[in-house]
Amino acid sequence: MTDGYKNLETNLIHAGERTPRIEGAVNLPIFQSSTYEYSGDDSEQDLRYIRLNNTPNHLVLHRKLAVLENAEDALVTSSGMAAISTALLSVLEAGDHLLIQDCLYGGTHTFIRDDFKSMGLSFDFIDGQAPETWKEKLKPRTKAIYVEALTNPLLQIADHTAVTAFAREHGLVSLIDNTFASPVNFHPADRGFDIILHSCSKYLNGHSDVVAGALIGKAELVEKAALKLIRLGGTLDPHACFLLHRGIKTLAVRVRHQNAGALSLARFLENHPAVKQVNYPGLPSHSRHKEATELFDGFGGMLSFELKDGAEKAKRFLDKIQLGIIAPSLGGVETLLTRPATTSHHTLSPEARRRLGISDGLIRLSVGLESAEDIQADLDHALGA
């Protein structure tokens, strides 16, 4: 097996690949077999079966993802939510308590809100940008702290250095959802995070044609989560493994192009008379621009903005968009736009959205790989309407 090279671009293509290549095939074929011949050993380790996450298509991805995140081990899952729920359920037991950032991916929010109680788990929200307020929320059974690299949809940035320092000081497992940044822009393991989560449905696959997830980090934690995943059953199918493997190879060129496109569109929107505010960490007007410059290698392909005339104007704006596609999800080759109040955050109550600063007129933009000039012309036309 080929292990890590010095640079990410090379690792995307070569890390974890089988040597020698199987039948000389340049690309790892799809092993469409649920079960495998048993070598005769007594050990359970010897069984190979798709749900055990140990087919050749899984193993290559595990090694590659671990190398990409500078971590010890990795596990792919059937969705981002499978990675998140499996990680939390492998770290927490009945009676345990979790500290979790207040502005979260909608699915993660509803998982802790609606499912924790019946499993005997509890949580408190924390303001990721106010580390001085975390200590008062600690409980004797607090076991973990959970944040997102960049929050959805406001692109806020928690004090990530403080998160891992706090976790070390209080013996907590630190978890981070790194979906929005991708391993091209941010390496949480280098900052001391124990478990890194991804919805691979987004940037890692990058083509809006697969749902998959990953859980990456310290070997002992990944191993525990892998046993939990076998029981919960959130396994990625070999065909989806193949598509994800193929998508990952172009991650660096895609994300860097999206970084550049998003920065130029954020600047354009910030100077547009119809726009009230733009949320993008690459703009000096972002409240944590300085920290973002220090933490990240790029500011990402996601931004959100608010129109001066609120929700009605936002609806009209989306009606006029022609090139961009009005659809949830993100991180693909095509530009996607949504109104989070009606998509990713519709399960939150209107008060909860207001408290988090997600207005009904907020628009989220996932910048694709089209020419930024064409995307800008589309936005400009729709804003003028």
Ligand X SMILES: *Cc1c(COP(=O)(O)O)cnc(C)c1O
Q: Summarize as ranges the residues that interact with ligand X (CB under 6 A).
A: 79-81, 105, 107, 148, 152, 177, 179-180, 199, 201-202, 211, 213
Least CB distance to ligand X at residue 325 (A): 16
Tell me the closest approach of the beta carbon of residue 153 to ligand X, in angstroms. 10
Computed over its alpha carbons, how large is the radius of gyration of the chain? 21
Q: In the structure encoding, which two tokens stand for residue 14, read together?
A: 């070569």
The answer to whether residue 63 is catalytic is no
Least distance (Å) from ligand X to the CB of residue 207?
14
| Residue of 5, 18, 51, 353 with catalytic role | 51
The crossing angle, in degrees rounded to 10, of helices 310-320 and 372-384 is: 130
Q: How far is the CB of 212 from ligand X (least distance, A)?
A: 7
Is residue 177 annotated as a catalytic residue, yes or no? yes
Q: Is 203 a catalytic residue?
A: no
Q: Which residue has the tokens 């940044």?
A: 181
Ranges assigned E (strand) in the chain? 73-77, 97-101, 122-126, 142-148, 173-177, 195-199, 213-217, 275-279, 302-307, 325-326, 336-338, 362-366
Residue nearest to ligand X as judged by C-beta position: 80
Q: How far apart are CA 112 and CA 169, in angstroms?
A: 25
Which of residues 68 and 211 has its CB atom nearest to ligand X in the complex? 211
Reading the block at residue 150, the tokens are 């960049």
Known catalytic residue: 73? no
Q: Residue 149 in contact with residue 174, Cβ under 8 Å?
A: no
Nearer CB in complex with ligand X: 181/283: 181
Q: How far is the CB of 12 from ligand X (least distance, A)?
A: 20
Distance CA 201, CA 167 (A): 29
| Separation CA 252–CA 11 (nearest Å) | 10
Asked if 148 and 180 touch (Cβ cutoff 8 Å), the reply is yes
The label of the residue with tokens 């927490």 reads 92
Centroid of chain to Cα 272: 30
Q: Which of 202, 254, 339, 364 is catalytic?
A: 202
- Give least dist CB 81 to ligand X, A: 4
Catalytic residue, candidates 73, 96, 177, 194: 177
CA 32 – CA 110 distance, rounded (Å): 34
End-to-end CA distance of the chain: 56
CB 65 within 8 A of CB 77: no
Give the residue numbers marked as catalytic. Answer: 51, 105, 177, 202
